[in-house]
Amino acid sequence: MDTASLQQKVKVAVPTIILCWWVLRRARQSRLPRPPSPPGHWLLGHALQLPDPSGPDAQHVDVLLLEWARKYNWTVFSFWVPIVGRFIVAADPALVRQVLVTENYPKASLYGNLLPLLGEGSMLVAEGSEWAAKRKVFNPGFSPGFLRGVVATVAEKVQTLCEKCSQAADSAEELGLHEATVDFTADVIAQVAFGEDWGTRGGRADAPSAAVAPTRQLMFELQWECTQNQITPLRIYTNLLSRLRI
């Protein structure tokens, strides 16, 4: 069998296997109880309704989920996209607390996206007793005695964040709160853990030195990318749709 013939058979076999797997998976899932869903496409589900996060004026997926919750008066609902699977949305604070605090369910499989960056030993991706043991090591850093010593630093950073919000409000300028709070978090960590005043984006006078700036920028970018993949799990999928112009 020549190479060209083998490649042609592989091109036919791989999509066929994927399609069969998807059909069987859908058939199995259809027998399971699930929350209601907004109307969607019979084949593409809700993929075409999701906002494209790569656009300059991209709407966050949470805005769409909030609109669905209000439109249909749902506290729990679901939506699905091909390959990625079904997502269940809790739009009630009591239910969110039950999932995250009371029951403390296992982390989403999406945390696996962080493994190449954090490694398998990171507390962020650990579960159960492994997480508890690692969290115990960090407890001294959250003790009242230690926190009392950094309250002034945190308060200063909060004041800077508030000033940034006030300036945006006074100038009627749109401010991305998520990006601003990511900057705030990085600023606090750098000051408390490393004694570096990184400031925040926006040209503050106490901006980091040229030697620190590359590290600061890298940390901001890593935080931003990791956080975006967590709060917008369909980001990679919708970017793919955009590239394919679907």
Let me know whether 144 and 126 are in one domain.
Answer: no
209 in any annotated domain:
yes
172 in any annotated domain:
yes
Let me know whether 189 and 173 are in one domain.
Answer: yes
188 in any annotated domain:
yes
154 in any annotated domain:
yes
Let me know whether 155 and 170 are in one domain.
Answer: yes
Q: What is the pTM of this model?
A: 0.53
Count the domains in the chain: 2
Domain membership of residue 182 as a residue range: 138-231
8 in any annotated domain:
no
Low-confidence ranges of the chain (pLDDT < 50): 201-206, 240-241, 243-246
pLDDT at 204: 46
215 in any annotated domain:
yes
Long-range CB pairs of 160-167 (<8 Å, 24+ gap) are 160/184, 160/187, 160/199, 160/200, 160/204, 161/200, 164/200, 164/202
112 touches 104 (CB < 8 A): no
pLDDT at 206: 45
Let me know whether 156 and 227 are in one domain.
Answer: yes
6 in any annotated domain:
no
